[in-house]
Structure 1
């Protein structure tokens, strides 16, 4: 039995960051279905419970930040895997993310770390 394609919500206000992440994801998993959003509002507009397996969330975005977005998504979908992807690696942010059950990936994204994340 083949595994269904991973459905990934990719949220970052930087178009370059989104395209780079999408490229890295496709190198690891060519079958991944990726939906992009440029900010929290766009992400919430396309988000539906059980529509995604994984959400990669930038922290610093206009409007709501990645942790707030993660909380709003988690309230609608308990099973989705959330990962904060950010260059803002302050201990307080990493700790808040962990306490919320949100994974953490620093920027620039390491392709090996991303590959391990996608396999888990």
Structure 2
């Protein structure tokens, strides 16, 4: 799959290892991606004040604001951004909250197929 322009993707996870793992997986997809990274909700908000992202992969458990709080803020400030909650915290209540925010729910560790479906690519 070839795209005319690179997709900008925001990764938000307080774990550097988790971000690196996701970056490796994403780079194996047949997409041209510009990947931005943030280690917290506050860092993500600051980064997005001067940028635009097409999609975001957001961890739930982070110091400070959690991923659901960040997603709710992005729904207001960046309504066109496609959002996914990437978390090992697989609880029905959390999945429901993500669904209410029109987020894709990807259990951690994220599968290549799940990432590909979220981004509209072939794994």
Aligned-pair CA distance for 1:48: 3.5
- CA separation in 2, counterparts of 1:53 and 1:28? 16
Aligned-pair CA distance for 1:109: 0.8
Q: State the partner residue of 1:64.
A: 65
Aligned-pair CA distance for 1:78: 1.1
Runs ≥4 residues deviating over 6 A = none
CA RMSD across the alignment: 1.7
Q: State the partner residue of 2:41.
A: 40
- CA separation in 2, counterparts of 1:79 and 1:29? 23
In structure 1, runs of 5+ residues without a counterpart are: none
Q: In the superposition, relative to structure 1, how do residues 62 and 2 fare at CA in structure 2: closer, same or farther (>3 Å)?
A: closer
Give the TM-score taking structure 1 as reference length: 0.93
In structure 2, runs of 5+ residues without a counterpart are: none
Cα deviations across residues 86-110 of structure 1 (Å, max 9, x unaligned)? Answer: 0001000000100111111000111
Work out whether 1:6 is the aligned partner of 2:7: yes
- CA separation in 1, counterparts of 2:69 and 2:111? 24
- CA separation in 2, counterparts of 1:106 and 1:98? 14
Aligned 1:108-119 pairs, distance under 5 A: 108-119=109-120
